[in-house]
Amino acid sequence: MTEAAAGRGRVRWLMIWLIFVVSAVSYLDRTNISIAAQHIREEFAITQVQLGTVLTAFILGYALAQPIAGRLADRFGAFRVIAWGIVWWSVLTAVTASVPSAFGGAFALMIVVRVLLGIGESVIYPASNRLVANWIPPHERGLANGLIFAGVGFGAGVAPPLITFIMLADGWRAAFWMSALIGLVVLAVWLWLARERPGMHRFIRQPELEYIETSLGQGKAAAGAPAAPPLSWGEIFGNRHVALLTLSYFCFGYTVFIFFTWFFTYLSTVRDLDLKSSGLYGMLPFIAMSVACAFGGWASDKLAARYGKRIGRCGPAAVGMALSALCVALATQVVDARLAAVVLALGSGSIYLSQSAFWTLSADMGKSSAGTLSGVMNMGCQLGGAAVAQITPIIAESYGWTASFLVAAGAALVGATCWVLIDPHAELVPGAPAEAV
């Protein structure tokens, strides 16, 4: 950071780190069930396919609520929506641990609880993208989104050793209660330090405020301009580039969620690693995600500044998804379980090189409707996750686990192809003719 940049202040980056922490906790709360999956399956006496239904329930609730979550963030403010979301998902995480296995309708109740938990967590990323649009100049958004989504890998990476440690000592229910408590602690920090807009933050300096407002076109010249009307649903769903972005993110979700839902089970039951080894090697994909996500965002900003958005935004996304397809496919041919876990981790890291590009472009395209547009896009990702959670055990039982991972590799390749067709300069303007699908 230059001396001038340091003198401006760094409150906008404090906001990004706060979102990083919220992101990490949200993924701790959603991945704990995949780590405890075999214990839950045994206690509730359910099949592997029924377990897949429980995992899918969360993702469906999360996915289908995405567009509405984004609209709520645009309408009521992302700061407030995230705060309520943390309360919601912390309470539902504790409720998950309270479902009695002896209850006759326990399986159905678990599905309902997981759907509601998914709805609560649905607000985090559309609302975060709205905050990025409020706080971060366009040329810094690659790194900002890279850091935010590094929280995904951090939270999911911390989850295996933390949850297994608590499970071995006190059982899986205690691990869920601890996850809920962590969420409430983070809520207190969020209410203390986060704010909706730069001008509302008590710690921001005038030079940084002016820098942000000038970069976003919100300076004195724009002070008297009327607020832009929100994009209509038709303008969003009918745009070709939004459709391509959403399709690519569906493929991203299909590939990535095999790690969030079935990777731990794969290591422990298919590759025959014990619980401690599975917890250790289960961290690797998520560590790779964190590192690659932050690096990909930083590299994207640098490349975009030098070569333009086509190279800077679309390039890392296409290359990252293509590399992921290659690594995931190669891992199925590796005999040694530990080496296979490492190669799969390279695949998860590679695909996360693309993560910041999705969210940076959706913020650039949507502007004042960034929350809504990114919610639509993220719905595609989560539907991909729902598909892989439900389909993977079916494919595995019929054709083997190698086939399950090869399908995920194919999805990543389709997602990479979409990036070749996306125009990174496209913007959606309310009332303007849309580029039809």
Q: Residue 174 sits in a domain of what CATH number?
A: 1.20.1250.20
List, in order, residues 6 or more apart from 93 with CB less than 8 Å away. 29, 32, 117, 176, 179, 180, 183
51 burial level (CB within 10 Å; 0-12, 13-18, 19+): buried
Among 136, 111, 20, 120, which Cα is nearest to 69's?
Answer: 120
- Phi, then psi, of 239 in degrees rounded to 5: -85, 130
Ranking 264-268, 276-280, 345-349 by mean pLDDT, the lowest is 276-280
Other CB atoms within 10 Å distance of the CB of residue 425: 13
Q: Measured over all CA atoms, what is the biggest interatomic distance in the chain, rounded to whole angstroms?
A: 65
Among 144-153, 255-264, 347-356, the range with the most confident prediction by mean pLDDT is 347-356
Which pLDDT value is given to residue 223?
A: 43
Which pLDDT value is given to residue 273?
A: 66
Which pLDDT value is given to residue 41?
A: 86
Counted residue by residue, the chain has a size of 437
Which pLDDT value is given to residue 154?
A: 82
Confidence of residue 221 (pLDDT cuts 50, 70, 90): very low
Report the alpha-carbon angle 175-262-325, nearest 5: 135
Which pLDDT value is given to residue 435?
A: 56
Which pLDDT value is given to residue 135?
A: 94
The reply to whether 220 falls in a domain is: no
The DSSP symbol for 226 reads P
List, in order, residues 6 or more apart from 169 with CB less than 8 Å away. none
Q: What is the pLDDT of residues 378-402, one digit of tens each?
A: 899 988 988 887 888 889 888 888 8
Residue 194 pLDDT exceeds 60: yes
Residue 344 pLDDT exceeds 80: yes
Which pLDDT value is given to residue 437?
A: 46
Among 232, 244, 251, which Cα is nearest to 436's?
Answer: 244
Confidence of residue 429 (pLDDT cuts 50, 70, 90): confident
The reply to whether 208 falls in a domain is: no
The reply to whether 217 falls in a domain is: no
The reply to whether 200 falls in a domain is: no
Ranking 10-24, 126-140, 252-266 by mean pLDDT, the lowest is 252-266
Calculate mean pLDDT across residues 139-150. Answer: 89
Provide the angle, in degrees to the nearest 10, between the axes of the packed helices 124-135 and 355-366: 60
Which pLDDT value is given to residue 274?
A: 63
Residue 334 pLDDT exceeds 80: no
Ranking 40-49, 174-183, 236-245, 293-302 by mean pLDDT, the lowest is 40-49
The reply to whether 204 falls in a domain is: no
Report the alpha-carbon angle 68-391-151, nearest 5: 50
The reply to whether 219 falls in a domain is: no
**Better-scored residue on pLDDT, 339 or 112:** 112
Which pLDDT value is given to residue 278?
A: 64
Residue 340 pLDDT exceeds 80: no
**Better-scored residue on pLDDT, 227 or 123:** 123
Instruction: Give the Cα separation of 138 and 212 in Å (integer).
Output: 10
Q: Is 1 helix (H, G, I), strand (E, B) or coil?
A: coil
User: In angstroms, how far is CA 136 from the centroid of its own chain?
Assistant: 19
Residue 249 pLDDT exceeds 90: yes
Ranking 9-18, 51-60, 76-85, 277-286 by mean pLDDT, the lowest is 277-286
List, in order, residues 6 or more apart from 192 with CB less than 8 Å away. none
> Helices (DSSP H) in 36-105: which residue ranges?
37-44, 48-64, 66-76, 78-96
Which pLDDT value is given to residue 206?
A: 92
Residue 230 pLDDT exceeds 80: no
Beta-bridge partners for 436? 239
Structural domain for 318, as ranges: 3-195+232-421
Instruction: Give the Cα separation of 437 and 425 in Å (integer).
Output: 17
Q: Name the token pair of 420.
A: 């070749």
Q: What is the pLDDT of residues 291-323, one digit of tens each?
A: 898 899 999 999 999 999 999 999 999 999 999
Provide the angle, in degrees to the nearest 10, between the axes of the packed helices 11-35 and 206-215: 70
The answer to whether 171 and 101 are in contact (CB under 8 A) is no
Rounded to two decimals, the pTM is: 0.75
User: In angstroms, how far is CA 164 from the centroid of its own chain?
Assistant: 23
The answer to whether 364 and 138 are in contact (CB under 8 A) is yes
Query: How would you label 294-328 residue by residue, b for 16+ Cβ within 10 Å and e otherwise?
Result: bbbbebbbebbeeeebeebbbbbbbbbbbbbbbbb
Instruction: Give the Cα separation of 289 and 353 in Å (integer).
Output: 8
Which pLDDT value is given to residue 218?
A: 60
Among 268, 256, 255, which Cα is nearest to 35's?
Answer: 268
Query: How would you label 150-161 residue by residue, b for 16+ Cβ within 10 Å and e otherwise?
Result: bbbbbbbbbbbe
Q: Name the token pair of 193.
A: 């330090």
The reply to whether 96 falls in a domain is: yes
pLDDT over 70 percentage in the chain: 91
Residue 219 pLDDT exceeds 70: no
The reply to whether 205 falls in a domain is: no
Q: Total structural domains in the chain?
A: 1
Residue 377 pLDDT exceeds 80: yes
Given phi > 0 = left and psi -120 to 50 = alpha, else beta, which region is 200?
Answer: alpha
Other CB atoms within 10 Å distance of the CB of residue 6: 9
Residue with tokens 């730069």: 198
Tell me the average pLDDT of the chain: 85
Calculate mean pLDDT across residues 275-286. Answer: 70
Residue with tokens 């366009």: 138
Among 23, 158, 46, 52, which Cα is nearest to 99's?
Answer: 46
